[in-house]
Chains A and B, each alone.
Chain A
Amino acid sequence: MSEAATGAPGALGIASSKVLSMREAIARYVHDGDTVVIEGFTHLICFAAGHEIIRQKRRDLVLCRLTPDLIYDQLIAAACARKLVFSWAGNPGVGSLHAFRRAVERGRPPLEIEEYSHFGMVARFSAGAAHLPFWPLRDYQGTDIPVSNPLIKQVTCPFTGESLAAVPALNPDVTIVHAQRADAEGNAQIWGLLGVQKEAAFASKHVIVVVEELVSTSVVRADPNRTLIPGVIVDAVVVEPWGAHPSYAQGHYDRDNEFYVAWDDIARDPATLASYLDKYVMGVSDRSEYLTLHEGLTTRLAARDMFCAGVNYGY
């Protein structure tokens, strides 16, 4: 059946296309002082968006993410951030985030922090997405986390009298989600690790979806269970193959573990870090130019095929 024959409004994706360039999407939806989320737990972290934010010299951002990862280390080093809201600030499997550490230990540059555990951050996004003022969780007893973060409070269950922790809703100005594919309306399909992207997107005032591949709506409709973010909450769609590198996209490319290791040396010295940003972020105009600086990358990290069988949606 052709797309037109399905009769779905916007099935051809022309009239309601939300497709923008990365430059346009960041210019339109990320402003100085905004609360910004680039989510993705190890998987699908949109470095291309972070780099464009650095290029457009955004300032005073409140950056939120469970795991700041290298992308927020770079944004902190580029002085884009006023504050970091997080739950685990390390380089996974490697060690420290050195720009983050310099900011917190020595105030270079100054950075306010607001710290939770993963469950606390997940709960904050869940409250934001469900339009509730807070989310209760059985957590933090006996720890110093609520001592250093007074926004973690106690509530008493009205039914059992149990004392529970409560964290406030997090409603970002904009959430940026990388996905394997979406149509022009932003119906985004993700497989592999899902992180907290659905909750973060639903909690957000604006949503930018960045994809490896733009597909027709019929591809989405053929497998609706795969859609994590519906187009109705999406403002912009950016087509940016390899936009998650050095993070990864299941079925497209592997994580660049070598770069995560290399970042330890790059970020340890502020001058080396600055020259990295000069060359690979400020020195290029977009992601395709960034890729030209990485010879052999697409061959080295290309995913091997492992297709699933598919399911029968008939009735």
Chain B
Amino acid sequence: MTVVAARELRDGEIVFVGIGLPNLACNLARATHAPGLVLIYESGAIGAIPERLPVSIGDPSLVTGSLMVTGMADVFQLFLQGGRIEVGFLGGAQIDKYGNINTTVVGDYEKPKVRLPGSGGAAEIAIHARRTVIISRLSTRAFPESVDYITSPGNRSKGKSRKEWGMPGAGPVKVITDRGVLCASDVDGEMELAALYPGVALEDVTSRVGWALRARESLEMVAPPDAEELRLLREVLDPGKLYLKGS
């Protein structure tokens, strides 16, 4: 999942980095095919080159050696709303067929079954980044037909398209999972199965999605991680298995 996410990034792109696997994916991309990737963290570190795997997005290692450190008002107004962010990574407890994400509550907002952390910067990343990539393990619980609460809008929310809502960014183009990759349909923005990991059957994916998942006519096969990618992840980037637990 991390390797597939890293491959989504092109050299020289400006990426808004979230914590967890996206953080690892961005640092893997920087160590392999995209040395010129500009990592921007919502904490205000611009062009960060963390020497250690940051536990949080406010880790002191993001500051040391970065290109710029600025206040959060600048991050959100000048970089994000200013249209400077090319890619944003998002994850969440629930993701629906249009890529709407819930990180706020499971159940009712007023009487939640599970209270989650909330938006942080995710809502505005989903609205402003030129494109977003979602990362999540597949399960019917995580992929319901519609989410309990829309924290971060996808390709279609509350009956309207992004264009109708006036959102600047293109929205989620892909959902990278642990079994395959979903891509947004050009026609209606619905997430469709586009690629499978080696050894994964179609049903392994469709049975873990809470809606009738459309599969593209010719499914691509995701190339497995190569030896160098695995070595970097396991020996250099996350030797303590901070983020690679169970994956």
Query: Contact residues of A with B, CB < 8 Å?
Result: 41-43, 66-67, 86-90, 92-93, 96-97, 100-101, 104-105, 115-119, 122-123, 125-126, 137-145, 148, 162-163, 191-199, 248, 250, 254-255, 257, 260, 303, 306
Contact = CB atoms under 8 A, between A and B. Distances in A.
Contacts of A104: 112, 115
Interface of B: 19-20, 42-45, 55-60, 62-64, 69-73, 76-77, 80-81, 100, 104, 109, 112-124, 127-128, 149-153, 157-158, 160, 162, 165-168, 242
Contact of A143 (B123, B162, B166): B123
Contacts of A143: 119, 123, 150-153, 157
The B interface is mostly helix, strand or loop, or mixed, namely loop
Secondary structure at the A interface, as helix, strand, loop or mixed, is: loop
B196 to A, nearest CB: 30
| Across the A-B interface, the 9 shortest Cβ-Cβ residue pairs | A42-B58, A90-B117, A142-B153, A142-B157, A88-B120, A92-B56, A117-B119, A141-B165, A119-B76
Nearest to A97: B117
Contacts of A96: 117
Contacts of A142: 100, 127, 150, 153, 157-158, 160, 162, 165, 167
Contacts of A199: 71, 73
A194 B63 CA distance: 11
Nearest to B242: A93
A148 to B, nearest CB: 5
A309 to B, nearest CB: 14
B51 to A, nearest CB: 11
Given A141-B167, A163-B166, A119 B80 contact: yes
A162 B44 CA distance: 29
Contacts of A92: 19, 55-58
9 contacts: A42-B57, A66-B120, A88-B117, A93-B20, A101-B115, A118-B121, A142-B160, A193-B60, A197-B71
B60 A255 contact: yes
